[in-house]
Amino acid sequence: MTTRIFRLAAAASAFAATLVAPAAHAQSSALEAAFDRTFGTDVRAPKSFEARYESPFAQRIARLADGSDGRIGVAAIDLVSGEEISILGDQRFPMASTSKIAIAATFLEGVERGRWSLTSEFPLMVPVQSAKFSSAAAPVRKGSYMPAIDLIEIMITRSSNPATDALLRVVGGPAAVNEWARRNGIREFSIDRDIATLVRDDGEFDPAKHIDLRDSATPRAMVDLLSGLYQGRFLSAESRQVLLGAMSRTRTGTRRIPAMIPSSAQVLHKTGSLNNTSSDVGIIKMPNGRAFAVAIYVTGQGTRGQREAKIASIARALYDGYLSRADGRQYAGANYGGE
C-alpha cells in the first residue's frame, strides 16, 4: 500500500511540473498519459471533443469542463432515462463539505434502527485554535446542545462544521460513514478526518495539481450517492424527507448550481469549498417532473468566483441538455443570458 501511495504521489508531482514550467511537447504528453493511467482516467483535458464524445450534449459539457486551468470533474445522470454524462467522472476530487450528505445519511439510518432519534440532543463540536498539522486530530470542545433535526438542518443549509462534527462523532467517526457508503455500493469515496481537522490542515496540497485520496470522492461516486438517496434505495421516506428537504433549503452556493437554473425548477444541493477548490452536488427537478443528479468539482480556474461561474454554466448546460431530451428536442446548446 505504501509503495502504491508513493507511486501515486510521484505521478501527481510529475504531472504538476508540467503545469508550472514549460516542457517539450513529447515529454509533457508522456507525463500526462502517466498521470491519467495512474488515476484511472483516460484523458485529463479532452483535446478532441468531437472524437471523444458522440453527442453535441456531451461535447458541450466537455468544453465547459475544460481543465486547462485546473482539474474539473463532472458527473450527471437523468433519473428517468439513465443517460449519463461524465467528464473526469472517475477521478478523485476533494469532497470538502459535500461529504456532509453522507454523514447525515449515516445518522438517519441510525435513527431508523432505533439507535437515537431526531429529537436526541448532542453538543456542537467547536474547534479549539491549534497550529496546522500539530496533531492527528484538531482539538475541539463541546458547545451548546441541539436536537439532531436542528443539527442536520444547519449542517446542510448553512454548512455548519460544529454541527457536522457533532453527528460525525455520534455515528462513530469517518470509518462508520465509509462503512455505510461501502454497504450501499458507493465506491471511490472516503472520509478520513473530521471537519475541524480538514479545515485546520487545509492547503497542504494544491488540488488543481495533486490528487490527495484523503477525504475525496469521484464525481460518479457522489452521483451514485445522490441517486440512491433520491430514489429511496438507502433510507426510508421519512429520512429522505429530512435530508432532501434540508438540501432544498441550502443557503450557501447561490452563485453555483442554482445561479442559472430557471426559477420553475427546484434545486436540492450541497456545496463544498477548500483551498483552490469549489464544488456543488445535488438533484435538479425540472418543470416536466423529471430530475437529474449532478456532481461538479472544480479546482484552479484562478479565483473562487471563476470556479463558481464554471459550476453555474455547467449546471445550466446539463439542465438544458436533459430538458431537451425529455421533451424530444434535439440539443442545440444553451442560452446563458438568463432564464
Segment 267-292, tens digit of pLDDT? 999 999 999 999 999 999 999 999 99
What pTM was estimated for this model as a whole? 0.83
Counts for the chain of helices (H) and strands (E), in that order: 12, 10
Q: Is the pLDDT of residue 242 over 90?
A: yes
Q: Is the pLDDT of residue 91 over 60?
A: yes
Burial of 94 (0-12, 13-18, 19+ CB in 10 A): buried
pLDDT at position 46 is 44
pLDDT at position 324 is 87
Q: Which band of pLDDT confidence, cut at 50, 70 and 90, is reported for residue 32?
A: very low
Q: How large is the average pLDDT for residues 40-54?
A: 54
Domain ranges of the chain: 2-55, 75-326
Contacts of 94 (CB under 8 A, 6+ apart): 207, 212, 215, 216, 272, 274, 277, 279, 297, 299
CA–CA gap between residue 8 and residue 299 (Å, rounded): 19
DSSP state of 16: H
Q: Grid coordinates 452521483 are at which residue?
A: 223
pLDDT at position 86 is 95
Q: Is the pLDDT of residue 235 over 50?
A: yes
The count of other CB atoms within 10 Å of the CB of residue 332 is 12
CA–CA gap between residue 227 and residue 233 (Å, rounded): 8
Q: Which band of pLDDT confidence, cut at 50, 70 and 90, is reported for residue 259?
A: very high
Q: Which phi and psi (to 5°) does residue 330 adopt?
A: -75, 130
Q: How large is the average pLDDT for residues 102-114?
A: 98
Identify the CATH homologous superfamily for domain 75-326: DD-peptidase/beta-lactamase superfamily (3.40.710.10)
pLDDT at position 50 is 55
